[in-house]
Structure 1
Amino acid sequence: MYRFRKGRIVEATAIGVILLILAVYFGKDIAHSPLAPYFTIQKTKITIFILVYGFIASILPVWLLLCPRDYLSSFMKIGTIVFLAIGIIIVNPELKMPAFTGFIHGGGPIIPGALFPFTFITIACGAISGFHALVASGTSPKMVSKESDIKTIGFVAMLIEGFIAILALIAATALFPADYFAINVPGPIFETLGLNTVNLDHLSAQVGETLNGRTGGAVSLAVGMAQIFTALPGMGHLMDYWYHFAIMFEALFILTTIDTGTRVARFMIQEFGGRFYKPFERVDNLPSAVISSALISCGWGYFVLTGSISTIWPMFGTANQLLAGIALCVGTTFIIKLGRARYMWVTLVPMAFVMATTLTAAWLNIKNNYLPLTQKDGFAVQGYVNIIFTAVMMACAVIIIADSIRVWMKTLPAERKERT
């Protein structure tokens, strides 16, 4: 629609949506057909395929893959969200997870920290996300027709993401607590909790997979969604279908994250490399795009292939939210530099909250989680890596804030003089 058959949006949408529905409808039949072995791929090969996909997708022009793919997948995403909302209204599932558990003061099997600050970090990863700030400055501008559309797009996207979070929370907490923990906690740790599963064996039989110890959150959300869908009239026999449909639904978000994240990281490497060789920073420079994308893809691909991504995963929340705080800090500086300091509180207040919460969480992670990890056999390297990188991120964030305050203090008096 951008280069070929320009303006034929309705035509392309109709074809794309029809093919998407057919793929979803006949997907289960493919799994039980002679074609199944061709789609049954080992973890290593899947990882390599995703690595290659992320590398290629981060180099291709936005209009060629990212934009049309996200456009078509948005029909699937929004349709699923609406269907889940309708299902929740009709089924009215009982929330079996108590409002408060014994882990609110810390020591939980999934997130060992206390309710504050770690619950706030978890929520903020979606509400005020540093990754989203990068995407908003790196790829989103390339898909906006005019600047005046940005406010509407951003506001509606925020509402939809918040809506998804609420639906996901309902779907997950509709599971029995023991079943939820059995899915999200490794077996040896679950045994120490003294809980007995209620419905997990039946759910495993229904979906055709072992659900115990499937950590990460994706499986428990898929089971919760499938449980709601199958409670609708006439769908009681489709538990395995809805479970795998929900997994595919989640995979759409993961694919978007992979190629968008790789692309944004590519931009940053190119910008950094441009300090030493100016042409390297040009985003239309193919050699530099290939080199930087290859470095990023091989980097995250290595961690996935070796299984050691768990080494840096605990730092994700801290890194994401420190990045969000930095983005708000830059936004505050931009507002002040524009001569509109009276509006600086719009970004300054959330920046102060995000930075205070995240720096507190980072310090508690080092003190309560990473330092004890260095004393465990086989985990010392992971503990020290987490400590070093978390401390470096904290120091960088504090330096940026301090330097920004210096700029603010220098700019604000000059602005007041101009007003008078």
Structure 2
Amino acid sequence: MRTGGDAGRTRPIDFLPIAPVISEGTEHHMAESPTPAPPASPAAGRRGPTPKSIAVWSLVALAGAIGWATLALSRGEEVSAAWMLAAALGSYAIAYRFYSRFIANRVLKADKNRATPAERLDNGVDFHPTDRRVLFGHHFAAIAGAGPLVGPVLAAQMGYLPGTIWLVVGVIFAGAVQDMVTLFFSTRRNGRSLGQMARDEIGPVGGIAALVAVFIIMIILLAVLALVIVNALAHSPWGVFSIGMTIPIALFMGVYLRVLRPGKVSEVSFIGVALLLLAIVSGGWVAESSWADFFTLEPGTLVIWMIVYGFLASVLPVWLLLAPRDYLSTFMKVGTIGLLALGVVVALPTLKMPAVTDFASSGEGPVFAGSMFPFVFITIACGALSGFHSLVSSGTTPKMVQKETQIRMIGYGSMLVESFVAIMAMIAACIIDPGLYFAINAPVGVIGDSVQSASQAVANFGFTITPDALAQAAADVEEASLLSRTGGAPTFALGMAEIFSAVVGGTAMKAFWYHFAIMFEALFILTTVDAGTRVGRFMLQDMLGNAYKPFREVSWKPGVWFASAVVVGGWGYFLWVGVHDPLGGINQLFPLFGIANQLLAAVALAVCTTLLVKSGRLKWAWVTAVPLAWDVAVTLTASWQKIFSDDVKIGFFAQRDKYQAGIDAGEVLAPAKSMDDMRTVVTNSTVDGVLSALFALLIIVVLVDAGRVCYKAIRDPESVKLHEAPYVESKLVAPASLFATKEEKAELAAAGLGPEGGIRKEPAGTGSRS
């Protein structure tokens, strides 16, 4: 077993004989706590708030409150999108400053002196202590995929207010909490996956149910995200070139930071961003040059390249490709969204969508069917609460985090940033004309394929837009048509183009900004697929390790290659079939995306609540139990409606019965174009309905078993067993946040280290404590 030393080298831990790292299967009774006496609170000895601090945070709270009041109380008046920014940013700031610190210090008691698995098990492949700034970039890029861009756009059908409230309140009390607490408990368990933690801490029945549900859902989520990328990059030489160039740039950054200039994060960041900007600018040039044909790829070709890339990202050392590429992408993501927010402040666009539309109560919206509860909370997943995040928080990130005290910034902070991305998507959807919004997002079967029919259909929805306005909107962004460009991505790109063109270039630049946004979305999502594939590999190795122990060693090469091949083969198969058959492959499973993702969140929150109870934190279990109760109510209600609803727009089996009746009557019903298509729709609806029932049943099994374990832990604490690694004192010194505090700078200086941190040059203490 090896641990991290200087970048590029590993060395044995000289204090492991005193406090050995837990081996698989080792258990600790609560009465024999694996941790020593709790460390002093980080707030111990800290001075109370100063008048300046009180004034600053009071102003932040006031700005947020005014923003919320303006959004909620306006009735018919014009509302600037800047008020949505104020409401969101004020809420995020208060939540991070106070609530996340409360969870880190009081609930979890994060210990900066405790060695993380990245330090104890450093092997330069999967376990590697990674600079907090690089890891923040990796984690954010891995969790921020299609969800925060697409979900809010679709939910805007209900008006801007319901989705905005869920995005902000949901992330503060549910999404960011889930990510942070899952990351903490996985770090305490040598970076074990969510499914394996469920099996270890809940038991074999609930654990196996969780392992099966989590892995199947993971494959579906990855295939859905990959399909969005393929659709965005197909026939786009600009996007293919620019995104393709991020791979060699990332490899260079990895070698630079590991071999050439270890620890020089600022240097490599500057070089990487400069090269990224050059790649983006060059992509526009390539698209207009003779090279355009070479980089114009068909969907099938893109699928092959994505499968190859996903496999490489899963098997190569994490420092070489995955972490630097995600870090590089974060500059692009955060930078673009930051500039978009600045554009809102400068241009002050008006929210044209009503605060709440009639579709919120009727449940008969053209974008998606169903009432506000539960479907707004299913449609908006990433940005508020996303089960996929828990897989990253128990996958790559816990194997790379330097200090437990960084978990707050990485887990809670990155989720707040993703929620802000979702707020910007909501703004983009709501500043365009509502008539144009519905013409873009309603299916062709509802609005027809001409601007005249679309205009009439939109009028039936209660909004107005002329055929000429629809044609002009397409011409402004150099598209033949914007009708029925469903999925959310084109709407976000159009709103983004509206904001940027209002600040730079006017209408003449709108087409440039629109196509830039399409490329940006593809870059945004790709980082989720590559990191997700590696996380899927960890999950599969954990599952197989229960039957064959060598798989438990996550860096065992045969296991790495086999598990990676199975994972990419799984989502790659559904993706390949999906791009060749509009009704097959992942298209068949696409309707399960939202519910499956939120059911996954229920598993994560159930595991976190169980661990809080088992580890003696019963009085704080409400921190995860309350969002768990809400998520269970939402997802099981949605599952029930999807399974049993008589509305063919909602219920899978109702849809199956309708199309089966059509087959029996010899009729072909849209969107089917033949009897073969009709039979495919019947099969798809049946499979979706059965899987919905299966997922709901598996989650109920996990919840019941978790409740049993919690009840037992409360009644008989002495019998509780925890699978937590024993305490080992850390020799690493590193700041907890992006910027070192005055106290942290002094500690770094005393340890003979620069601002990047590292191994103490003069180790303090005895190397262990009991």
How far off its partner does 1:115 sit?
0.6
Name the residue aligned to 2:433. Answer: 176
Once residues 401 and 299 of structure 2 are traced to their aligned partners in structure 1, the CA distance between those partners, rounded to angstroms, is 37
How far off its partner does 1:361 sit?
0.6
Asked if 1 retains the 8 angstrom alpha-carbon contact of 2:366 and 2:443, the reply is no
Are 2:694 and 1:392 aligned? yes
Aligned match for 2:570, one of 299, 303, 314: 299
Q: Which has the larger radius of gyration?
A: 2
Name the residue aligned to 2:560. Answer: 289
Name the residue aligned to 1:242. Answer: 513
How far off its partner does 1:142 sit?
2.9
Asked if 1 retains the 8 angstrom alpha-carbon contact of 2:340 and 2:496, the reply is yes
Asked if 2 retains the 8 angstrom alpha-carbon contact of 1:373 and 1:382, the reply is no
Give the stretch that moved more between structures: 284-293 or 342-351: 284-293
CA deviations 1:52-74 (Å, max 9, x no partner) are 21122122221111110111111
1:74 counterpart letter in structure 2: T
Aligned match for 1:207, one of 477, 481, 486: 477
State the Cα RMSD in Å: 2.0
Once residues 142 and 4 of structure 1 are traced to their aligned partners in structure 2, the CA distance between those partners, rounded to angstroms, is 23
SS of 1:61's partner is coil
How far off its partner does 1:245 sit?
1.5
How far off its partner does 1:258 sit?
0.8
Aligned match for 2:684, one of 378, 382, 385: 382
Are 2:285 and 1:10 aligned? no
Report 1:253-402 matches (<5 A).
Answer: 253-307=524-578, 308=584, 309-368=586-645, 369-375=651-657, 376=659, 377-378=678-679, 379-402=681-704
Higher relative helix content? 1
How far off its partner does 1:235 sit?
4.1
Once residues 179 and 314 of structure 1 are traced to their aligned partners in structure 2, the CA distance between those partners, rounded to angstroms, is 25
Report 1:63-142 matches (<5 A).
Answer: 63-104=319-360, 105-142=362-399
Asked if 2 retains the 8 angstrom alpha-carbon contact of 1:28 and 1:241, the reply is no
Give the stretch that moved more between structures: 62-71 or 150-159: 150-159
Asked if 1 retains the 8 angstrom alpha-carbon contact of 2:375 and 2:638, the reply is yes
Once residues 600 and 635 of structure 2 are traced to their aligned partners in structure 1, the CA distance between those partners, rounded to angstroms, is 10
Unaligned runs of 5+ in 2: 1-256, 449-453, 460-464, 579-583, 646-650, 660-677, 721-770
Distance 1:190 1:305, change over 3 A: farther
Once residues 221 and 134 of structure 1 are traced to their aligned partners in structure 2, the CA distance between those partners, rounded to angstroms, is 27
Distance 1:5 1:46, change over 3 A: same
How far off its partner does 1:416 sit?
10
Aligned match for 2:458, one of 195, 198, 219: 195
1:315 counterpart letter in structure 2: L
Using structure 2 for the length normalisation, give the TM-score.
0.52
Aligned match for 2:303, one of 21, 43, 47: 47
SS of 2:688's partner is helix
How far off its partner does 1:96 sit?
2.1
How far off its partner does 1:159 sit?
2.1
How far off its partner does 1:132 sit?
0.3
How far off its partner does 1:99 sit?
2.4
How far off its partner does 1:397 sit?
0.8
Asked if 1 retains the 8 angstrom alpha-carbon contact of 2:329 and 2:527, the reply is no
2:269 counterpart letter in structure 1: T
CA deviations 1:206-237 (Å, max 9, x no partner) are 32223222221111101110111111153432
Unaligned runs of 5+ in 1: none
Once residues 406 and 313 of structure 1 are traced to their aligned partners in structure 2, the CA distance between those partners, rounded to angstroms, is 34
CA deviations 1:284-335 (Å, max 9, x no partner) are 1222222222222222222222222121111111111111111111111111
1:346 counterpart letter in structure 2: V
Seq. identity, %: 47
How far off its partner does 1:4 sit?
4.0
Are 2:489 and 1:218 aligned? yes
Larger relative contact order (CA 8 Å, sep ≥ 6): 2
SS of 1:110's partner is coil
Asked if 2 retains the 8 angstrom alpha-carbon contact of 1:67 and 1:143, the reply is no
Once residues 522 and 439 of structure 2 are traced to their aligned partners in structure 1, the CA distance between those partners, rounded to angstroms, is 22
Are 2:404 and 1:147 aligned? yes
Once residues 286 and 416 of structure 1 are traced to their aligned partners in structure 2, the CA distance between those partners, rounded to angstroms, is 40
Give the stretch that moved more between structures: 164-173 or 118-127: 118-127
Once residues 14 and 264 of structure 1 are traced to their aligned partners in structure 2, the CA distance between those partners, rounded to angstroms, is 29
Distance 1:305 1:189, change over 3 A: farther
SS of 2:258's partner is coil
Asked if 1 retains the 8 angstrom alpha-carbon contact of 2:432 and 2:495, the reply is yes
Name the residue aligned to 1:166. Answer: 423
Once residues 113 and 4 of structure 1 are traced to their aligned partners in structure 2, the CA distance between those partners, rounded to angstroms, is 56
Asked if 1 retains the 8 angstrom alpha-carbon contact of 2:541 and 2:563, the reply is yes
Using structure 1 for the length normalisation, give the TM-score.
0.94
How far off its partner does 1:117 sit?
0.4
